[in-house]
Structure 1
Amino acid sequence: MKHFIVEINYLVPVDQLSDVLPNHRAFLQTGYDRGLLLLSGPREPRIGGMVVARANSLEEIQEFFNNDPYHLQKVATHTFIEFNPVLHQPWLDNWVKG
């Protein structure tokens, strides 16, 4: 299992996201339900968001986020940073090892 930080950068002011935000959060929930996502939330200041994710490959997580309403509505971009979680809290062991 590969691990990723997904950086979401808004292309529009945050006040223009109110219509798509509920769909974006519903989309993220599908990632939690599938076990792809560990945590997510907006950045401060509100210029985007951050996600900690895992998948079998970079292509798999990119394909998942290609269905993000933010991507589909062209209001944000996604940057994928792969990393190796060498150290982690013991209670995350099952998630990290996949």
Structure 2
Amino acid sequence: MLILSLTYIKSTQEADVHMQPHLAWVKEGYDKGWFLASGRKIPRTGGVILAVGDRTAIEAFVAEDPFTIHGICTYEITEVALTTVVEGLEALKG
């Protein structure tokens, strides 16, 4: 599993300008079967996406995020080898 942690480097107002294209990009990640969960950080300093799949392909996809293209955020990608999950979340084990 990959944890994609987005941290805003521009204002939330600038992020809001690019939010709809970013959300379309997120939807594409779900459509590809890569994204399992996503949401905003609290306080609103960025977001988190839980993903599965080939890291190289997902890193290339991250480069296509409108937030990346417009310099809205940085991404930290952490790979995790989950060994135990609750029933119903087995997909997180990748």
Give the TM-score, by structure 1 length: 0.88
Residue 35 of structure 1, aligned match among 33, 42, 47? 33
Q: What pairs up with 1:11-26 in 2 under 5 angstroms?
A: 11-26=9-24
Q: 2:79 matched to which residue of 1?
A: 82
How far the C-alpha of 1:82 sits from its partner, in A, is: 0.3
Which aligned runs of 4 or more in structure 1 are off by greater than 6 angstroms? none
Give the superposition deviation at 1:49: 0.5
Query: AA paired with 1:19?
Result: V
Q: Per-residue deviation at 1:96?
A: 3.4
Give yes or no for contact 2:62–2:68 (8 Å, CA) kept in 1: yes
User: Which ranges of structure 1 fall in alignment gaps of 5 or more residues?
Assistant: none
Letter of the 2:60 counterpart = E
Q: Equivalent residue of 1:46, what SS?
A: coil
* Cα drift, residue 90 of structure 1: 2.1
> What RMSD, in angstroms, separates the aligned Cα atoms of the two structures?
1.3
Cα offset for 1:97? 5.4
In structure 2, stretches of 5+ residues that fail to align are none
Instruction: Count residues in correspondence.
Output: 94
SS at 2:61 equivalent: helix
- The answer as to 2:69 corresponding to 1:69 is no
CA–CA distance in 2 between the matches of 1:24 and 1:88? 29
